Structures are given as structure tokens and as C-alpha cells.
Structure 1
């Protein structure tokens, strides 16, 4: 049995049985037949001033808060998200707009059922947001990290969870405040048929995610200088907080299951607890939010079945390379412009929704261990194009994974604003 980095915390802090059963039912609720499969895409955008490519913040005049208020008429008035008296999110059919800690604008779109559905919805979002942003003197760009501004010059937006995350991640890892304020990603979510299918997809996604990330890398700058890391996003998350980031502990063990995942999540300190939908805590926690750097779910939430809001919050405080909800969320990639994001969607459809391809990948990686994946991650960081993931050159993987034609150089340059566009 491969026990590398299995989280044994549950031996000391066993989850509440009702909480464990709640997560198991939640995972079960995601089971779909292949003809029902869909996908979702999240693209985070970096706001930069047109004048000098410096970061636009939430709080400045004509900044991100102003952008959201100008966008609001295009979204559902009864589905706005406010925290601390400030607008922080918008929603309408198939489009959710939210904020990352440093004011990065995230567009979550879906659920879609064919790759062709992506473009029209995303283009509609961009048409509206780009026009308003330009009137305010800035634009949204698709890079993995802010090109000019350093992290300590960007204030956090007013969402409750980010103050706690900032203090916690700033103390235990190397890159927490930088990731929060300056990074941006593209994430793709897909469906599964059952427990076995979901675990196969998680393992394959964890194995090949860093390779695909190499061919889609999109981060030329880091802290105002040239980026020294072939995969900066991976570097930041792997050195963030090993109890909740990187490879899911025990994923490649033959005994890994939904219960394993649920126990790990429920045993890990929450970091931050959202109790706004926990009636029992309403009087004792007036604003509904508490710091939970040491407390896990059993120590925070009541001894009862968890509701869906509580479940989603608990799962959202884990940031593994592939995250389990009642779907699978793949989190490896830098923020990508539309054409490259669409190519990523095509790749995901081909690899995960084509039975033959998924079977081929599952067979190829049979017997893989967590140490194998960690070695591949390190090899790409150390050797770049000369890396040999799982003993094969990059050219092999480009063909094997259907990555032909992907750019190997990062397009655009913030020093030339006419080129540096989304």
C-alpha cells in the first residue's frame, strides 16, 4: 500500500460521524450518466491600469468595486453578494462573477455540455466587462501573476475569509500572500459516473496536470521581475500548506475512497469558518464568520447533518491539485486567454469524456505512486523543456495527450501594451 503523505490526523481528531455521512451523500449526489455530463470553467482575470500595467485594487476610485457596481444592471439584482457593506459578487444564468483576494475578477461559467458552448457565454461576459473597465481606465488581462505590482502593494478586498487566510498563510508557507493578491488561474470542472470513475479521473488529472500546465504556462513575470519558475502556480501551491494543498494525501493508495477524502477534509483545521447558514451559531457569532486556524469541522459545526452551504464551505477550504466536490475541479493552470482556455476545454473533453482515452490513461498510469508525481513536478520545475515526466520526453506527452500545436512560448508582453491584451 502506498501511504506516502497519507494524512493521519484523523487518528487524533476523528470526524463527526454525521458530518462524514453528509459528505458521503454529497459526493453520491454528483453521480451522473455519461450522456448527462457537463463542465464548468473558471477564469480569473488580473485588473491592470491602461497607463502603466500596475494592478487595479478594489478600493481605489474607479477600481474593482466601481466595476462591479457598473456591471450589476446586467446581472440578477436578487443574487448580488455583499460583505462588510461592499459589493463582492454578481450572478446570472450560467455566469457568476466573484473576487479573489487582491481584486482579481473571476468569471465562473457553466454548466455546459459541449465545448462549443464556452465561447459565446465568455465572449458576452468580456464584451460587457471590457467596455466598462476601459471607461474606468483599466483592463482585465489573462496572465498567471501580476506583471508589475508587487504583492505587498495590493490591499485585500473586503471578503471576510481573506483576512483570516492572509494571516494564516502568511505564517506557515512561502507564497501565501503572493498567491492571494497577485495570482490568477484557469480551472475546469467535470463530472463522474460513480466513486471508481471519480477516483480514476482524480488520479489521471493529478498525474498529467503539471504536464499540461507546462504547455499552457502563462506567467512571464513574478514580483515585478522575470519569472524564474517554469511553473510558478505549482511552485506557490506546493509550498503553501501541505495539509490542504498539492496532491491529495493517499490518492494513489489502492484503498483510497470517498470516505478517505472526506475524513481528510473533516480532520484538517478549517482555517476559516463560515457560519452564516448555521442557525445554532447565529447569536454567538453575530457576523457569522470565525477564524479556525486549529479547529476542524467537528469542533465548529453542530452535531447534526451538515447542510449544503456548510459542506461547500468545508470543501472549499482544501486546495488540492484536483478537488472533490459533487464534481471534480482541476486547478493546475494559469489564467488563459479565450483561445487557449477553449483549447484546454477541448483537451479535457477528449481525455476525460472519451471512454477510450480515459481507459488508455488509466492503464498507462496503473501502479503510479505519489512519489512518482512529486518527482515529475520537481523535474519540470528543474528542467523545463528537457524534463522527462514519468521517463518520457515532453515531445512524447505532447502527442500522447493531444497537445500538438500548443504554444511553448508565453504570448504577449506587458512592456508592449498593444500586444499585452487578454
Structure 2
């Protein structure tokens, strides 16, 4: 995630919270694509995790990237915790266990996005290789226990680390041992936001199945193709899940704000200090009656930060975040945004996707989310095989990208970014299933070969 907001404008009413989100709407010609992807660092010499400190640690990696790129350091006290491109809008940040994240700039085409991804990975390799650091392409660290996983020096993570075990069995696993790729997309209006949110929520488990890439934990298969997605099923139910209210009549900005207001807070940031207010109500902060900070009132920064601590399968800020996929090899980092852009940035494809999912019940959607982590494309939804649904959805997305007709220097439109995902559906095997087959055969039930084979 990028740096926390610092807008100190006071908030006086619920209407201002709604307006803050509504102000994100923009006409289609201004829609952009923002991709975020995380990767898990390790020492090439011994396949061990990389701590923050030390001459070959995460801090040294950030310092090297700062020297290479000239981006502005994001500091917390004396610790650099990220980098910010003040001209282009991108950022590099650290997840709790040292996962190294690029939050890409808002870009107009998938060609630009994929170039940005390739450039970032090349830059990271240039700095990381002399430090003896490599990066896994998996959606979860396959070998280390929680106790072996480093902790990054960020105040909000310390608060979450204390709170997570109180509200779910797997919150710490989510924080410290998983990695995702997501795409952030714009909307034109409240109605447009609602339709995209509903399609995104309904099809998020399909994205999980297509991009499943986290079958191992602590040196063994977990029984799940996406252990990362399984973890989210038991990680603080107040702020996660499929948002069933989004499919009810009257859904809009106001309804999402009301849900967000009901989710307990993590922290309030004042200056460089994160104040632990876990379990407290944002409504009390707005009224100046927060027990931990008496008299302190909410600001726009507090609201933006609170929205960033909500983790539904699709998250609404001033744009929509599609959050269901494991990170993966570079072609899949480019394919995930293509999948959603083709569906949601083309009117015909979007209407077709809505026709496909609009009659699914809340029970259908919840069952699919529950079944996909283990079953992948073999899961069923509303009486249909998910793999069959996948073929239709990918055809819609591919046609949507073709109609966008953004061409690269070779004359290709953006649809070619879906080629690797089409291969998954054609074979019925995602990255996790192929990896598990190798684990049972040529790896002789040893996960350590992933540190040689599945790296950027």
C-alpha cells in the first residue's frame, strides 16, 4: 500500500464522507489503470527471509532503489519504509513481512502498465542481485513459519499485529506471508460504480481460481490451490468478504459509507505517531468522543486511512480495487489487469458480464468463494462448472480489449495479455496445480526448488 494520507481537513458530517468517495467519479476518457503487485524477498544463498536491517536487508534494498530511481523516501521516524515518485504517481512500499510492493502509476493503457511492470522488475533485480536477494513469484511464502518471518518497522503494522489474533485465526498469515496482484479502476458515476462493484465481487473467486499460485506453507502442500485466498476466509470478518449488501436495492456511495462506519478502527495517525484505537468507532472520532484521544476530531486523512484498512474482495475508495488474485509470474502480473479492464472498461463486455452473474444468489457467491481456494476451476457456481463460466468471461474480456483497440508498436491490441490465462482455462490447470505436480514428481516432495524456478 502507498503512504498513509495526511490531509488534515476536518470532517463535520457523514455527507462529507460520502462526497469524498463520490468525487472520484470521472468521465471515461479520464479512466486509468493502476496495478499493484507484491513479491516476497529471500536470500539466494540459503532461501531464508530478508530482515529489514543489516547491510543486505530490506532497508539497503530501499536505499539502492532510491539511488537508482531518484524517488523520494517515505520515512517513519528514522526508517525508510517506501519510495514515492512525485512526478509519475507510482510508489514502492513494504508489506508487514517485507513483501516488496509496486503501486503503479495511473496509466492509460495495458501496454504502458506492462512496460512499467517489466521496468520495475528489472530495476529491482539490478539493486537486489548484488545484495544476494531474489524474489518469489508465489502468492504465499512456501517455507518459513510466522516466527521466522521478519517484521517491518511500521506503526500501523504493529497495531494490526496485536489486533489480528483477536478477530480471526489467519490475520497474521495474511499480513506477513501472502502476496497479491490487484488492479485499481475508475468509475464514471454512482450507477457505474455499483455495476462494476457487483460484477467484480461476483467474479472475484474466478480470478482467484485463474491466478491461484499459493499451494505451499512451511514446506508442505496445504490442500489449497490458493492458500492466500483460504486465509482471507478467517481474517477479521468485520472488514472482509463479499459485501452481500452491495447487491441489494439502494446500493450506492451512501450504503458503502455506512458499512465502513460500522467497521471498527485500527488507528488514528497524528504526525508520525500511530495511536492504537482498535475496536473504536469512526463515528466517535467524528464526534470528538474517542476514549483514547478525547476531543480529537476526524480529518479527511483519518477517513482515507480508515478506508485503507477495509479488506473486502473489492474495495471502494475513490476508485475500485480488484483484490482476489495471488501474485504470479510476470505474464500473470500483466494478465490480471487485462482481465478486469476488458470486462469493466467496455460497455458491451460489462453488460455481458452482468447478465452472466446477475441471477447468482448470495448463497451462490459465498459458496463459490468458499470452494475456490481448494477446488479452483473445478468449483461449481449456480449449477455450472466454473471452468465453463471462465471461458465465457474471458471471451467477453478479450472482445472488450479488442474494442478498446489500443495498439502497441507491433500492432497488437491489449487482448494478447490474456493469452496465458486462456491457456489455464484450456488446460484446466492453474499455476498452483502445475507446481503441485512438479512437487510430487521431479521435486521429490521438497518445496525448495521453487526458490530456483519460480522467481522474477
- TM over 0.5: same fold? yes
Aligned twin of 2:236: 241
Mapped pair 1:292 → 2:277: yes
Asked if residue 359 in structure 1 is aligned to residue 337 in structure 2, the reply is: no
**2:382: which partner in 1?**
390
Distance 2:377 2:360 in 1: 22
Distance in 2, Cα, partners of 1:357 & 1:160: 42
Match of 1:405 in 2: 423
Distance between the aligned counterparts of 1:259 and 1:275, measured in 2?
27
Contact 1:53 1:147 in 2 (8 A): no
53-62 vs 30-39, which moves further: 53-62
**What is the distance in 1 between the residues matched to 2:11 and 2:120?**
43
Alpha-carbon distance, 1:249 to partner: 4.7
Partners of 1:115 and 1:396 lie apart in 2 by 26
Alignment of 1:141-156 (within 5 A): 141-156=136-151
Q: Is the 8 A contact 1:275 1:310 kept in 2?
A: no
| 1:88 equivalenced with 2:106 (yes/no) | no
* Contact kept in structure 2, 1:270 and 1:295, CA below 8 Å: yes
Number of corresponding residues? 396
* 8 Å CA contact 2:286, 2:297 repeated in 1: no
1:417 & 1:336 partners in 2: Cα distance?
Answer: 14
CA distance in 1, matches of 2:120, 2:13: 38
TM-score, structure 2 length as denominator? 0.82
**Equivalent of residue 200 in structure 2, options 205, 214, 219:** 205
Structure 1 residue matching 2:348: 3-state secondary structure: helix
Decide which moves more: 95-104 or 362-371.
362-371
Partner of 1:44: 38
Aligned counterpart in structure 2 of residue 59 of structure 1, from 47, 53, 56: 53
1:111 aligned partner:
106
Q: Deviations along 1:138-165, whole A, 9 cap, x unmatched?
A: 1122211112211111231110001110
Q: Which runs of 5+ in 1 are unaligned?
A: 1-15, 277-286
Question: Deviation of residue 272 (structure 1)?
Answer: 1.9
After superposition, give the CA deviation of every residue in 1:178-230 in whole Å (9 maximum; x if it has no partner). Answer: 11111111011101111111111111111111112111111131133213223
2: CA distance between counterparts of 1:218 and 1:324? 25
What is the rounded CA distance, in whole Å, between the counterparts of 2:226 and 2:121 in structure 1?
A: 27
Residue aligned with 2:422, SS: coil
Tell me the equivalent position of 1:252.
247
- Whether 2:94 is the aligned partner of 1:99: answer yes
Equivalences for residues 248-397 of structure 1 within 5 A = 248-276=243-271, 287-301=272-286, 307-381=299-373, 383-397=375-389
| Alpha-carbon distance between aligned partners in 2 of 1:229 and 1:417, rounded to the nearest angstrom | 20
SS in 1 for 2:355: helix
Q: Contact 2:183 / 2:321 at 8 angstroms: preserved in 1?
A: yes
Q: Which is worse superposed, 370-379 or 183-192?
A: 370-379
RMSD between aligned residues: 2.2
Distance 1:191 1:164 in 2: 31
Q: Indicate how the Cα distance of structure 1 residues 22 and 75 shifts in structure 2: closer, same or farther if over 3 A, else same.
A: farther
**1:421 equivalenced with 2:438 (yes/no):** no
Which ranges in structure 2 are unaligned for 5 or more consecutive residues?
1-9, 289-295, 395-420, 436-446
Shift of 1:110: 2.1
Give yes or no for contact 1:55–1:148 (8 Å, CA) kept in 2: no
Cα deviation for residue 371 of structure 1 reads 2.2
In 2 relative to 1, CA 331–34 (structure 1 residues): closer, same or farther, beyond 3 Å? same
Give a deviation string over 1:296-353, Cα, whole Å, max 9, x none: 2122356699644222101011111000000001111111222111111221111111
1:85 to partner: Cα distance: 1.3
